[in-house]
A and B are shown apart, each in its own frame.
Chain A
Amino acid sequence: MVTCTGCALLCEDIEVVLENGGIKESRNACRRGAARFRGCKNRLAPSVDKKQTDIDTAIKKAAEILKNAKSLMLFGWSNSTCEAQAKGIQLAKKLNAAIDDTSSFCQGLLIERVLQKKFRTCSLEDVRNRADVLVYWGSDAQDSQPRHLSRFSVFPRGESRQRGYEEDRLAIAIDVRESNTAKICKGHFYRIPLKGDREFILALMEALVGKVPKYDAKRMLELAGIMKKAEFGVIFAGIGLTYSIKDDIDILVSLADMLPNFHVMPMVGHYNMRGFNEALFKETGFVNRVKFGVKPVHDNKYAVVEALKSKSIDALLITGSDPLSSLPRSILSHLASIPVICIDPCVTLTSKIAAVTIPAAASGLECGGSAVRMDGKVIEISKVVENSYLTDAQILTRLMEGL
């Protein structure tokens, strides 16, 4: 059995069939996980200034860029093991650099509040064993964490949920789109307008205190009734919800406070985003957007989006992420004018414009380590195939030695 790094569920029950030193087939992994085990078509090669070179030259050049930078940012991290993330944080400290990860424009706001204990949360095993009301809010788990419903929430039999989903569990979806997850929630799909989550929360709060809400009163009172009666409820908060209420995220804390039997779990996509958030939180008290110096400083200007938009960094080291693919093009022009170092197993949009590329082992396939599941549980990930790629952690160590 090996662990899948396809998403932050980190499924540990995967079988792989090996052939000629490679993976022939995976079993029990979803379509997303299976794609991960198949690997990518175009492996990254070491390069400097877009010319292929050997790995030592690439690492040497990268170390030089890091040394010469006056305003450096280290970014990525959500696709790396905890061991690599620890090295990354160490490197940022050593270089007095800013460090940020993909949670900065993803679920960081919610994970921060979970780690600050502003939300009651729970483990996925608690969900399986105890949860009776499951609210997928702005979250299409079926497409993003495909085994969430089957392994933990809606479908499995658990300790106090032995009778199957038709009798024991109630799944609700709140979303702007009838997603695949919403389809499963059939009679309990609440469609809201784009950016309508705040209004919806306010109406739900009114309904919870027995007032007739202005907005869809009948269904809102019905939902409030279901949530009040829940023995063990969970709100699975997706980025649809986070993006919609990003300027007033604490409204979700207020809602959770009114629901004593409810837990909030941020739905995480990348397999080890939470790992990075926990590591940086432990080190600095913040989950992302930190600059090291005399003491670590947290500021929105150290968010990768703001740093690129304001052109305030003069070099960027990226580990396991593709900002050119995942960020708005409107803020990316600065990327072309600064040296970018790209550490990744595969060719990405960003690697095409990078000053230095350093190929890495794909975690969960070519190297193992540990990672933090979306609910905070530490999971061992496995090396499946023999290979000669350096791991992210080894590359970062060599960069540190080369300074």
Chain B
Amino acid sequence: MPTVMELYQLLPKTNCKKCGESTCMAFSVALLSRKKKVSECTPILEESFKKQKEKLESLLLPTAGAEETGMIVHPELCTGCGNCVVACPVDVANDPHGAGTGCAPTNDKVIFKVMDGKVVAFNIKECRRFGKNRVLCYACIDPCPTGAIEFV
């Protein structure tokens, strides 16, 4: 996944506000969380920014296997430790006495479950990165030491 700074460096940096965001930095954050599309930046559509535009689009290209939230689980990197199962705020809210306390999930409303030693994602639409009120949540990525979960 690209960083906000990588995206920002490619923008015109004029803070023209035509995209509806207050600054180009705010627009890059919106790009990263997929609230905005590159084409919503009018200046970048000009010929002189062609290369930057292409680069931005390629950085934001959804990777194969990504769900609508952009979540990809790399089973070959996963150790099955379950840190994401327990740290995910949706899992805690939907299964407070199971996953929330560190135990195996007790219902099917959780996002993460460990199957055969590797994590599998379910109920993707419950993810805080999905839907109208989405937020840029890192709760499953931060506790993963092997980089097995990624959002693209």
Tell me the A residues contacting B by CB distance below 8 Å.
1, 13-15, 25-35, 128, 142-143, 146-147, 149-152, 154-158, 164-165, 180-181, 183-184
Contact = CB atoms under 8 A, between A and B. Distances in A.
B52 to A, nearest CB: 33
A30 B115 CA distance: 8
A142 B144 CA distance: 10
A1 B89 CA distance: 25
A396 B82 CA distance: 38
Contacts of B145: 142, 180-181, 183-184
A26 B117 contact: yes
Interface of B: 78-83, 85-87, 89, 92, 96, 100-105, 113-118, 143, 145-146
B62 to A, nearest CB: 27
B83 A31 contact: no
B117 A128 contact: no
Nearest to A124: B102
B116 to A, nearest CB: 5
A180 B146 contact: yes
Given A142-B79, A142-B81, A155 B87 contact: yes
A25 B103 CA distance: 19
Contacts of B104: 1, 13-15, 27-28
A224 to B, nearest CB: 26
A34 B80 contact: yes
B18 to A, nearest CB: 36
B3 to A, nearest CB: 17
B100 A157 contact: yes
A151 B86 CA distance: 8
A303 B91 CA distance: 48
Contacts of B117: 26, 29-35
A146 B103 contact: no
Given A27-B114, A151-B86, 10 more contacts: A27-B116, A29-B80, A29-B117, A31-B79, A34-B116, A146-B81, A147-B81, A155-B83, A157-B100, A165-B143
Nearest to A165: B87
B118 to A, nearest CB: 7
A28 B87 contact: no
B83 A149 contact: yes
Contacts of B143: 149-150, 154-155, 165, 184
A242 B114 CA distance: 32
Nearest to B84: A150
B103 A13 contact: yes
> What 3 A-B pairs have minimum CB-CB distances, sorted nearest first?
A34-B117, A156-B102, A180-B145
Nearest to A157: B100
A149 B114 contact: no
Given A128-B102, A156-B101, A147 B82 contact: yes
A146 B101 contact: no
B79 A143 contact: yes
Contact of B103 (A30, A142, A151): A151
Contacts of B92: 157, 164
B78 A184 contact: no
A209 B78 CA distance: 43
Contacts of A146: 79-82
B85 to A, nearest CB: 7
7 contacts: A30-B80, A30-B82, A151-B82, A152-B102, A155-B86, A157-B102, A184-B143
A40 B117 CA distance: 16
Nearest to A155: B86
A30 B113 contact: no
B83 A128 contact: no
A31 B100 contact: no
A13 B17 CA distance: 53
A247 to B, nearest CB: 32
A220 B121 CA distance: 41
B96 to A, nearest CB: 7
A28 B102 CA distance: 11
Contact of B83 (A1, A158, A164, A184): A184
A31 B146 CA distance: 13
Given A29-B117, A30-B114, A150-B102, A156 B86 contact: yes
A83 B36 CA distance: 63
